[in-house]
């Protein structure tokens, strides 16, 4: 159980980290499109500030999305074990995509500015997919009760 929890938080951390970094860079790219240059030092500073600032809002929402998506993948992996990696990758992607689409439909706002564009939405989904893939990798060992070598 501890291994599953550790894998969950590692996957969540990866998805959050990648999603936060991508969200910041999408916004900064919109600023650059308006004309001003954004030096790398400012990009780094802004990225770190967003990483810390989004932890109070985006991180818990991602946790809920993963808490719903990853168990669904586990259930599907029991039905089709050969596709276990695909289930977790897809679950991470779909969970994050669903999070943003539901927030937009229910609240009428995009909680993460980058998700206003299809590219930004897909990149957030890719961050979720990376988290799902990491969860798969960290939990893909010997199953409890399985004989050694299985």
pLDDT at 67 over 50: yes
DSSP string over 66-135: HHHHHHHHHHHHHH-GGGHHHHHHHHHHHHHHHHHHHHHHHHSS-SSGGGGSHHHHHHHHHHHHHHHHHH
Instruction: Say what the pLDDT of residue 142 is.
Output: 55
Instruction: Say what the pLDDT of residue 149 is.
Output: 40
pLDDT tens for each residue of 90-149: 999 999 999 999 999 999 988 899 999 999 999 999 999 999 999 999 999 755 554 444
Task: Using alpha carbons only, give the angle 82, 84, 88 rounded to the nearest 5 degrees.
Answer: 160
| Mean pLDDT value across residues 50-58 | 95
How is the chain split into domains, by residue range? 2-139
**What is the pTM (predicted TM-score) of this model?**
0.90
Instruction: Say what the pLDDT of residue 150 is.
Output: 38
Instruction: Say what the pLDDT of residue 141 is.
Output: 75
């Amino acid at each position: 159980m501890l291994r599953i929890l550790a894998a969950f938080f590692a996957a969540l951390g990866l998805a959050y980290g990648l999603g936060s970094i991508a969200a910041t860079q999408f916004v900064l790219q919109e600023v650059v499109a308006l004309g001003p240059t954004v030096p790398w030092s400012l990009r780094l500073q802004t990225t770190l500030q967003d990483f810390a600032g989004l932890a109070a809002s985006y991180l818990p929402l991602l946790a809920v999305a993963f808490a719903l998506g990853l168990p669904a993948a586990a259930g599907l992996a029991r039905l089709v074990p050969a596709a276990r990696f695909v289930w977790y990758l897809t679950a991470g992607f779909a969970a994050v995509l669903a999070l943003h689409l539901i927030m937009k439909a229910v609240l009428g706002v995009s909680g993460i500015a980058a998700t206003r564009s299809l590219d930004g939405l897909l990149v957030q989904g890719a961050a979720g997919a990376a988290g799902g893939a990491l969860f798969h990798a960290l939990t893909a060992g010997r199953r409890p009760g399985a004989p050694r070598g299985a």
